[in-house]
Chain A
Amino acid sequence: MTKISNRQLVIAFLVSRLSTEMIVTPGEMIKYGADRYWAIIAAKLVILALYLPVIFLTVRFKGDSAITACIRRNRIFGAAVGIVMAVSLTLVAAQTVMSIQHYVTDTLLNTIWSAAGIAVLIAASAYGAYKGLSAVTRSAVFASAVFALLILLIGVTMWDKADFTYIYPYFIEDGSFFVKCTLSEISSNSEILIFAVLCDKVRSKPHRTVLYYLPILLLLLELVNFIYNLILGPYLSNVEYPLYIISSLSDVVIFQRLDGIDAIVWLMCGLIKTALLIYCAADIFSKVSGSDKKNIFIVVYSLVLFGICLVISSNRAYYDYFTNLMNSGIAVFAAGFLLPTAALIFGKGVKRKKEEQNETV
């Protein structure tokens, strides 16, 4: 079984979360002002609390994931947990693919046939999932390097366009926006689902992934939010893709605009996230069924995902309902918190030699 390091998973999670920052977060959740800074902090504290069951699970059942711990207790129980987890992952994957497609249509290719766009995105992600976890996380390292370069270039080229009078010290201006924004930030952290499934793939001390990931993510999101406020000021509340706009305003000698790089980065991040989600679904399948035909499952699953995306995107009402459902954080709470809690309480780990000896005595 391929094992990856904490560092690789942290980078993969950061890439996955940053793709959401640009293409999934609803536009109205990014507003000018102090509220979002606090919402990001509050959301990270809540997310840390939501991660606790998985962290305890990795400590209690070493080398196990939420699914394997449940399967070991009872195969039917494990299958039920696996199915709920897979459904949640599928919903997140559908949301991610449709958001990438929406973003691509809005910014780059406004005449693209959406079914073709979705098909290509899913095919590329499925290929990533087929290549395996190690390949996906290596791609994530590359994507994160390009992202860092983009932020650096933006920082250098936009320095003269930054207006520090846009920044002001305040706590919470609009309570209802703060709550909505916090909820939105929580619902954007679907990486908790991936962690619950893949924590058995981390070489050692998987809980450290969370301990590294959350503080780095907090700093990164605050930095990106700071850049938004500094450059766009009050106009930030009116734009849908702030980083794309800021990139398009950047002007360096070689590239007149950086929005092309921005689009590539976000496309890569989105594909890596989808590939991770597909890989997780395939991993659940192989754990629950005990089958090693993971690759066939990836093909079938990708076709199902394609069908789901087509159905949801065929009707605006379906799409809005689905988006609202996902933004409520239900997937993160149910599959990222409740299932690992159930696994922690009812799961069963591998008996170690010492325990076996004690039982014999």
Chain B
Amino acid sequence: MKPFKMLVLIITVISLCCGCVDYVELSERAIVKAIGIDYLPDKKVYRISMQYFNQGGEGSQNQIDKTQDNVIKCVGEGENIFDAAKNASLLAAKDLLMSENKIIIIGSELQKYDLELTLEFFIGNYHSHPQAFVVAAENTAEELLDIRFKEGTTSSQRLSNLIKNTASEGKGKYRYPYEIMATLQSSTESAFLPLLKITRQKTDATVQKEQSGGGQTNPAGAAQQDEQGEKTITVDGAVIFSDRTAKGRVSADDATAVQLLNAEINEFSFAVNIEEYAKPSVTLTQITHSVKADVKDGKAVFDIKINAYGNLSSRGVIGENDTEAVIRVASLSEEKIESIVKNSVTKIKNEYGCDVFGFENILRQSCTEFYFNNRDDMAKIIRSADFNVDAAVDLFSLGLQSY
């Protein structure tokens, strides 16, 4: 009995001694909220920019001043991303805590290199937040992190809300690192990242950073900025990757098509071009899709079916009992969806050789024998595959139904 009582006593005493050993206080950690990674080809180094939570607000050390952006940016350069992150930590003079990071932005230059190697830094680091959104920058990732928003406790909160909202509107689904790693394992080594762009708009969402000497806001500069509008960030289209590297940029419609064939869309609105009814707006909800694969004459064929329910969110001049008009709007909505999907699949699959639609998985599931017999040529087979698109839209508005 005695040795065990001693053992329990020793373990208890050891566990109580944790305050006596070296440890890092939360306030001494840089709680990273957004990360941007760029590659500098001239210097042949990676540059990492991080927005981390500034705990030194007004009043006490940990008070949050919601009128401020509450983040500080730090940068680091290195031979690889890990090295750059370590250097950023040295410059920030704080230990980096990445478990709260919500956004990973890949700079345009880095998009030309192996995406899997870039994401390996986040995947290999178990402390990194696995549900961070991975997005592409139009130019450098750093310039996006220089723009600070007033909204939210931290500046990056608005950015993550922007990405989420874009997805719920059906303009391009965000991706987590593991989802991208999964699509990169396909024969075409494809990926899809929403594209962040800087635009000038007349809003007051951002914090103006141009300051004159002495830390005072330059009124002249502010006035000039007001006239041109202020720099802000939008999600516009996406970057398409094949063979693990960026192959091109696609429009918002293409991003919608990718989302239609991969994920749920809460809501998707568009205007139907019928002049006589004053271009009514249609809002689709409950959008479902099914893709079936078949092999005909040694060639893969995909049958894409999209079903959606919705309503006329803006009726234009359509009368309450004008069933014929609603049927016509539904028919044109179907044509529009078919056109979006057809154009996007043709462009992304046939031109870029990119399979962000998951066609390979569907072929493997439906035509397993064919898949395993032609596994080595799968990239070519997917690229040259035929496809048919069929959309069915069921509209109802104020009791009017198209079918």
Give complex CA distance A127, B7 in Å: 8
B344 to nearest A CB, angstroms? Answer: 19
B259 at the interface (CB under 8 A from A): no
The residue that A169 contacts in the complex, of B1, B179, B368, with Cβ under 8 A, is B368
User: Which residues from A are CB-within-8-Å of B7?
Assistant: 123, 126-127, 299
Q: In the complex the two chains form, is B185's CB within 8 Å of A238's CB? A: yes
B8 at the interface (CB under 8 A from A): yes
A134 at the interface (CB under 8 A from B): no
Q: In the complex the two chains form, is A106's CB within 8 Å of B126's CB? A: yes
Q: In the complex the two chains form, is A244's CB within 8 Å of B126's CB? A: yes
Q: In the complex the two chains form, is A166's CB within 8 Å of B361's CB? A: yes
Q: Which residue of A lies closest to B179 (CB)?
A: A161
Give complex CA distance A32, B185 in Å: 11
User: Which residues from B are CB-within-8-Å of A110?
Assistant: 127
Q: Known contacts A127-B7, A168-B368, A238-B181: does B186 contact A248 (CB below 8 Å)?
A: no
Task: Provide the A165-205 mask, 1 if CB < 8 A to any CB of B, else 0.
Answer: 11111100100000000000000000000000000000000
Q: Which residue of A lies closest to B365 (CB)?
A: A168
Q: Besides the contacts A173-B372, A235-B182, A295-B1, what 4 more A-B pairs have beta carbons closer than 8 Å?
A: A165-B358, A238-B181, A248-B130, A249-B130
Q: In the complex the two chains form, is A120's CB within 8 Å of B11's CB? A: yes
The residue that B130 contacts in the complex, of A130, A257, A295, A299, with Cβ under 8 A, is A257
Q: Known contacts A160-B264, A166-B361: does B11 contact A123 (CB below 8 Å)?
A: yes
Q: In the complex the two chains form, is B3's CB within 8 Å of A295's CB? A: yes
Q: In the complex, which residues 120-174 of chain A have their Cβ closer than 8 Å to any Cβ of chain B?
A: 120, 123-124, 126-127, 130, 160-161, 163, 165-170, 173
Q: In the complex the two chains form, is B126's CB within 8 Å of A234's CB? A: no
Q: In the complex, which residues 224-272 of chain A have their Cβ closer than 8 Å to any Cβ of chain B?
A: 232-235, 237-238, 244-245, 248-249, 251, 257, 259
Q: Which residue of B lies closest to A108 (CB)?
A: B126
Q: In the complex the two chains form, is A237's CB within 8 Å of B185's CB? A: yes
B362 at the interface (CB under 8 A from A): yes
A-B contact count (CB 8 A): 70
Give complex CA distance A299, B5 in Å: 12
User: Which residues from A are CB-within-8-Å of B362?
Assistant: 165
Q: In the complex the two chains form, is B3's CB within 8 Å of A296's CB? A: yes
A contact patch SS? helix
User: Which residues from A are CB-within-8-Å of B372?
Assistant: 170, 173
A289 at the interface (CB under 8 A from B): no
Q: Known contacts A232-B182, A235-B182: does B4 contact A295 (CB below 8 Å)?
A: yes
Q: In the complex, which residues 298-338 of chain A have their Cβ closer than 8 Å to any Cβ of chain B?
A: 299
The residue that A234 contacts in the complex, of B3, B8, B186, B368, with Cβ under 8 A, is B186
A74 at the interface (CB under 8 A from B): no
User: How many residues of chain B get a CB closer than 8 Å to chain A's CBs?
Assistant: 27
User: Which residues from B are CB-within-8-Å of A237?
Assistant: 185
Of the listed residues A126, A165, A237, A238, the one surrounded by the most CB atoms of chain B closer than 10 A to its CB is A165
Q: In the complex, which residues 248-265 of chain B have their Cβ closer than 8 Å to any Cβ of chain A?
A: 264
Give complex CA distance A170, B369 in Å: 8
Q: In the complex, which residues 145-187 of chain B have their Cβ closer than 8 Å to any Cβ of chain A?
A: 176, 178-179, 181-182, 184-186
Q: Can you list 16 pairs linking A and B with CB atoms under 8 Å apart?
A: A108-B126, A120-B11, A123-B7, A127-B4, A127-B7, A127-B8, A165-B365, A233-B182, A234-B182, A235-B181, A237-B185, A238-B185, A244-B126, A295-B1, A299-B3, A299-B7
Give complex CA distance A233, B358 in Å: 11
B364 at the interface (CB under 8 A from A): yes
Q: In the complex the two chains form, is B131's CB within 8 Å of A165's CB? A: no
Residues of A within 8 A of B (CB): 32, 106-108, 110, 120, 123-124, 126-127, 130, 160-161, 163, 165-170, 173, 232-235, 237-238, 244-245, 248-249, 251, 257, 259, 295-296, 299
Q: In the complex, which residues 216-260 of chain B have their Cβ closer than 8 Å to any Cβ of chain A?
A: none
Give complex CA distance A299, B4 in Å: 8
Q: In the complex the two chains form, is B181's CB within 8 Å of A163's CB? A: no
User: Which residues from A are CB-within-8-Å of B361?
Assistant: 163, 165-166, 168, 233
Q: Which residue of B lies closest to A247 (CB)?
A: B130
User: Which residues from B are CB-within-8-Å of A170?
Assistant: 368, 372
User: Which residues from B are CB-within-8-Å of A167?
Assistant: 365
B338 to nearest A CB, angstroms? Answer: 22
Q: In the complex the two chains form, is B185's CB within 8 Å of A235's CB? A: yes
A157 to nearest B CB, angstroms? Answer: 11
Task: Provide the B194-233 mask, 1 if CB < 8 A to any CB of A, else 0.
Answer: 0000000000000000000000000000000000000000
User: Which residues from B are CB-within-8-Å of A295?
Assistant: 1, 3-4
Q: In the complex, which residues 94-114 of chain B have their Cβ closer than 8 Å to any Cβ of chain A?
A: none
Q: In the complex, which residues 27-81 of chain B have their Cβ closer than 8 Å to any Cβ of chain A?
A: none
A203 to nearest B CB, angstroms? Answer: 27
Give complex CA distance A234, B179 in Å: 10
User: Which residues from B are CB-within-8-Å of A161?
Assistant: 179
Q: Which residue of B lies closest to A300 (CB)?
A: B3
User: Which residues from A are CB-within-8-Å of B11?
Assistant: 120, 123-124
User: Which residues from A are CB-within-8-Å of B182?
Assistant: 232-235
B108 to nearest A CB, angstroms? Answer: 25
User: Which residues from A are CB-within-8-Å of B130?
Assistant: 245, 248-249, 257
